[in-house]
Structure 1
Amino acid sequence: MMQATRQQKSSTSAHGLSSRVKIMYGVGEIANAVKTVTFALYGLFFATVVKGLPGTWIGVVAFVSMLWDAFMDPYVGHLTDGAQAKSKRFKFMLAGILTMGAGLWGFFSPPHGLSTFPLFAWLLMASFLLRTATSMFSIPYYALGVNLSRDYHERTSITGIRNMASAIGTLLAASLSFIVFFREKVAGVDPKLDPTAYSAMGLTFGVMMTAAAFTAWSGTLPLRHSLEGGSRPMQQAPGNFLGSMRESLRNPSFRIILTSFFLVVVGLAVNASLLIHYLKYYVEINGSVALGSTQAAFYTAGLLGTVFWLRISRKFDKHHLYIFSAAVTAVLMLGGLALFGQGHPLGTGNIRPLLMGYGCAGFFGCMLWFLPPSMLADVTDESELITGRRREGALFGMLGFCKQVATGVAILLAGGLLDRFVGPVAGKSQLSGVAVFRIGIVYSVVPAALFTAAAILMLNYKLTRSRVELIQVELRQRRTANDAAAEGELTAVEISGEEQVKEIG
């Protein structure tokens, strides 16, 4: 039986994953993208303007939900590691799939006529349900991607296709919401104030999330017995939750990825938080069409860039491409300050070169999203070699925790700089020249500095392709020895049983 299983794994590894499996697996990321975009675009507006919840109350909902999400990610990762990790991951994923749609629909469909506190409680519980469901799906889903392949470059292919699906989900959610649910039907009537439109959107996008996640689950379920994993000793329970986290953090490669990714997320979130301020005050481009165009240019170019860089990535080590991507994106961000604005070469109100800039940022910056998960898969192998345990769930859970914390830090940083460095902007249609220039600095220079620091930090990363291949050779030798020892024990038990039968006879 063990020999047959090893032959099946060897056959799977030799021929690689089929494009069908990679695509079905990648489609699952659409669920995460739809949730993120929908909440980013409409969560605050729906709660405050449409339903009338005070901004402080929805701020509490967002903060508490983020804390819950930050805890759930590493904890779900911990629960789905260890003994029978593969079967547990599929069970957790299915539980998340069956509840995520209800959570999204519930948030945008509170009962009519709720007063402040019941509305607050409803939105908080719906947020908890949605974030718990997405954590139960996402963390095992990301960990599963590690087990799909041990090939250094195929891992990047898997995460790249997942990144493409994320871009598609982002574009679908952003465009369908405006075209289908908030299309102006009556002149002078704002469709974004209609609560029934949000309920319909929540139901539709909830079904879309469930369908995308189920596609990934069903597409990989037939492979659950042949997925790559650790040998028998590696499948022991990983111990207590905090101990597992501490042991993961002892790995230098993981610490570099985690810290560098943290800096990148903070930079991106600061940049995104100041986008409307930058467009309105610094480059003097207003209107939702302009905002939508910048996002469309960024994500469309990111989608095309993922296709391009996936081909190129086979010729380079992952961390070298990561450093290149961070450095180029930092330069492009600085260009937003140096080239645009009053008295600068491209001036104000010039949207075409601005869209080109966003397109270049998406094209070169996309690697910062699909390379870290691929690198984390390599770290999983290194961690197994050092500790004797596989911790895919814990590692991806901590990466999710890092992303949540980084987003919160970025919002605090952006708000603090806006108040104390730029100066008060609330309710002002015009700002002083100094304040406008400082908006450009916060939007461009601060993220560029963070990206540069992330690139410099990655210079210390040592897991090259050759190093990963050596680690995997050692792991295969260890597994072969362990399996041989296990078969020897089984044979000894069988012989002992036969001798006992003869003695009884």
Structure 2
Amino acid sequence: MRTAPLNPKVRGREIWGYALGEGGTSLTMNGIAAFAMLYYTQALGLPFAQAGFAFAVASIWDAIVDPAIGHWSDNTHSRWGRRQPYILLGGLAMAVTFYFLWAVPAAVITHGWLFPYVLTMNLLCRTAYAVFAVPYTALGYEICTDYHQRSQLQGARTALNMLVNLLGPALGWTLFFPDQAGGPEATSVAANFLHMGSAFAVATVGFTFVVVSSTRHHLTDTRGVVTGTGNTLGAFYSDFREIISDRYLRPIVGFMCIGGTGAVFVATLQMYLYVYFMHLTALQKTIIHGGGMVLCGSGALVGVALGRRFDKKNAVCIGAGIAATFDLVAAVVFLSGLLLPTTVWLVGGFTVPIAVIVFGGCDMLNWFGIGLFSSLAGSMLADVSEINELASGVRKDGGYAAIFSFSTKLILSISVFTASACLAWVGFVSGSDHQTPQAIRWLVLLTFGLGSLFAALVIPIALRYPVDQAFMAKVKADLARKNAPVSP
């Protein structure tokens, strides 16, 4: 039985202190998403199919272990609580394994062991990430129980994630991959990636200690406390079956899987567009990549206001519509020949790189829409977990966070593999600084065309979600009556 107030307000300082935990996951996961494929295929010469397979297997493994970690966390009994021990150990392990993703020993390459090394280190890094992320997400559900503050907390998480992404992976184009006149592409120099990986790993350690410290006031001794159904295999299976069959959960998982698939295609393939289609300078890459992160974080914060004004599912539809529209605009403009990557305008004696501006603007606004709808999903998931508490009598935040993560990661891991396979399918050559015009044209179509399609498909799925503010107000009132002390 819950002993804390049903609907306590949380101070903004606590929300942002918790959100700092996104710093480590942003540096590691966004760093991998932005640079790992380039590193292994262009700098080290690993075939696209092998690199994509390694990332997909690691992501699937990450999805598989999530439910177990969520169940264990829900049922952990320790003086340090049921979330913080996992957050600390997982965060430190994530930093160490992330470093070794980029610190590839020379013997691994010379002996032809690159593929098994990449696969092994990605599996270890993803395991550490799961140990950190699932309890961390569940802790957020416990910190904020107010209907609208949940959106505020999830918006803060996304905004922090994108801010760190801006200062890390996005700014990394300038810091770690500077242009070299007459030299090779900066992304074909292995040492550049090692410098980046070292810096991000050290920062991840710092973020881990900060989030553990900032959430210490929410640490509760769980020794002797009945927190769930137990840690037996039967209890795990029972919880898994109950959560996965929750009809309120399905629309959230559905639209995040579909929308996330489009986001993965854009995130994975846009890096190749930067280099081989637009031929952006390091500064332009930083501005566009960083601008996308800024607008993604801004979208998360705007989503809080739109959720209050139109309710959450309608705000999700608005975000998906924005993402779909600007991906479609980019596809039409560049595939039709309205603009070429080299198109510039002369205005008042100044050269305006209009093609770069349009490309960057569409990319950034796409990420604004993605940030808007994806941040609201976490808030909606916390609501669904509370609805389940009314029926079951037990709060299973870790289980819900894990099942949601499991479902979306399973789909997204397939998307990562498919995106990498598409590179080979359209004719991209691993390790080459030059690609055919036909391959590049296909890449533009896949990046923006599929991004637009998947974002648009989010809308009909989200509209099926039946929960709104009035629905949750009734749930909270019923919980209050159920948990009220019985008069003697």
- Flag the 1:361–1:116 CA change in 2: closer, same or farther, 3 A: same
In structure 2, C-alpha distance between the alignment counterparts of 1:26 and 1:270, rounded to whole Å: 26
Give the match for residue 325 of structure 2. Answer: 331
Give the match for residue 468 of structure 2. Answer: 464
In structure 1, C-alpha distance between the alignment counterparts of 2:405 and 2:322, rounded to whole Å: 25
- Range with bigger deviation, 208-217 or 398-407: 398-407
Q: Is the 8 A contact 2:141 2:150 kept in 1?
A: yes
Give the match for residue 495 of structure 1. Answer: none
In structure 2, C-alpha distance between the alignment counterparts of 1:366 and 1:66, rounded to whole Å: 21
Verify: 1:269 aligned to 2:264, yes or no.
yes
Q: Is the 8 A contact 1:71 1:401 kept in 2?
A: yes
Post-superposition offset of 1:169: 1.6
- Which residues in structure 2 correspond to 1:195-210 (within 5 Å)? 197-210=192-205
Decide which structure has greater helix share. Answer: 1
Give the match for residue 126 of structure 2. Answer: 131
- Which residues in structure 2 correspond to 1:105-144 (within 5 Å)? 105-114=99-108, 115-116=110-111, 119-144=114-139
- Flag the 1:182–1:251 CA change in 2: closer, same or farther, 3 A: same
- Flag the 1:130–1:441 CA change in 2: closer, same or farther, 3 A: closer
Post-superposition offset of 1:378: 0.2
Give the match for residue 362 of structure 1. Answer: 367
- Range with bigger deviation, 108-117 or 191-200: 191-200
Verify: 1:150 aligned to 2:168, yes or no.
no
In structure 1, C-alpha distance between the alignment counterparts of 2:445 and 2:327, rounded to whole Å: 10
Give the match for residue 291 of structure 2. Answer: 297
User: Which of 159, 163, 168 does residue 158 from structure 2 map onto?
Assistant: 163
SS in structure 1 of the partner of residue 74 of structure 2: coil
- Flag the 1:60–1:326 CA change in 2: closer, same or farther, 3 A: closer
User: Which of 372, 384, 387 does residue 377 from structure 2 map onto?
Assistant: 372
In structure 2, C-alpha distance between the alignment counterparts of 1:48 and 1:413, rounded to whole Å: 16
- Flag the 1:129–1:442 CA change in 2: closer, same or farther, 3 A: closer
User: Which of 385, 393, 398 does residue 403 from structure 2 map onto?
Assistant: 398
Q: Is the 8 A contact 1:83 1:235 kept in 2?
A: no
- Flag the 1:329–1:47 CA change in 2: closer, same or farther, 3 A: closer
Q: Is the 8 A contact 2:67 2:406 kept in 1?
A: yes
Give the match for residue 252 of structure 2. Answer: 257
In structure 1, C-alpha distance between the alignment counterparts of 2:281 and 2:28, rounded to whole Å: 21
In structure 2, C-alpha distance between the alignment counterparts of 1:172 and 1:310, rounded to whole Å: 24
SS in structure 2 of the partner of residue 88 of structure 1: coil
What are the Cα deviations for residues 407-459 of structure 1, in whole angstroms up to 9, with x where unaligned? 23324544676777xx5455875546xx8776554333433232222210111
- Flag the 1:458–1:198 CA change in 2: closer, same or farther, 3 A: closer
- Flag the 1:92–1:351 CA change in 2: closer, same or farther, 3 A: same
Number of matched pairs: 466
- Flag the 1:337–1:127 CA change in 2: closer, same or farther, 3 A: closer
- Range with bigger deviation, 302-311 or 252-261: 302-311
Tell me the TM-score normalized by structure 1.
0.81
Post-superposition offset of 1:138: 0.6
Post-superposition offset of 1:23: 1.0
The one-letter amino acid of 1:28's match is G
Unaligned regions of 5+ residues in structure 2, if any? 344-354
Give the match for residue 61 of structure 1. Answer: 54
Tell me the TM-score normalized by structure 2.
0.84
In structure 1, C-alpha distance between the alignment counterparts of 2:427 and 2:46, rounded to whole Å: 24
- Range with bigger deviation, 120-129 or 190-199: 190-199
Q: Is the 8 A contact 2:327 2:363 kept in 1?
A: no
Verify: 1:33 aligned to 2:37, yes or no.
no
The one-letter amino acid of 2:389's match is E
Q: Is the 8 A contact 2:75 2:82 kept in 1?
A: no
Give the match for residue 501 of structure 1. Answer: none
Post-superposition offset of 1:49: 5.1
Give the match for residue 316 of structure 1. Answer: 310
In structure 2, C-alpha distance between the alignment counterparts of 1:235 and 1:399, rounded to whole Å: 18
- Range with bigger deviation, 74-83 or 157-166: 74-83
User: Which of 469, 474, 478 does residue 482 from structure 2 map onto?
Assistant: 478
SS in structure 1 of the partner of residue 107 of structure 2: coil
- Flag the 1:447–1:181 CA change in 2: closer, same or farther, 3 A: closer
In structure 1, C-alpha distance between the alignment counterparts of 2:473 and 2:42, rounded to whole Å: 55
Post-superposition offset of 1:195: 5.1
Give the match for residue 393 of structure 2. Answer: 388
Unaligned regions of 5+ residues in structure 1, if any? 489-505
In structure 1, C-alpha distance between the alignment counterparts of 2:410 and 2:291, rounded to whole Å: 28
Give the match for residue 348 of structure 2. Answer: none
Give the match for residue 238 of structure 2. Answer: 243
- Flag the 1:247–1:417 CA change in 2: closer, same or farther, 3 A: same
User: Which of 86, 95, 107 does residue 92 from structure 1 map onto?
Assistant: 86
In structure 2, C-alpha distance between the alignment counterparts of 1:278 and 1:48, rounded to whole Å: 15
Post-superposition offset of 1:192: 5.3
SS in structure 1 of the partner of residue 394 of structure 2: coil
Post-superposition offset of 1:43: 2.3
Q: Is the 8 A contact 1:103 1:130 kept in 2?
A: yes
User: Which of 278, 290, 294 does residue 285 from structure 1 map onto?
Assistant: 278
In structure 1, C-alpha distance between the alignment counterparts of 2:273 and 2:179, rounded to whole Å: 27
- Range with bigger deviation, 145-154 or 181-190: 181-190
Aligned-residue Cα RMSD (Å) equals 3.4
- Flag the 1:249–1:354 CA change in 2: closer, same or farther, 3 A: same
- Flag the 1:270–1:181 CA change in 2: closer, same or farther, 3 A: closer
**Structure with max Cα Rg:** 1
Identity %: 21
Q: Is the 8 A contact 1:96 1:135 kept in 2?
A: yes
In structure 1, C-alpha distance between the alignment counterparts of 2:286 and 2:416, rounded to whole Å: 21
Give the match for residue 498 of structure 1. Answer: none
Q: Is the 8 A contact 1:425 1:431 kept in 2?
A: no
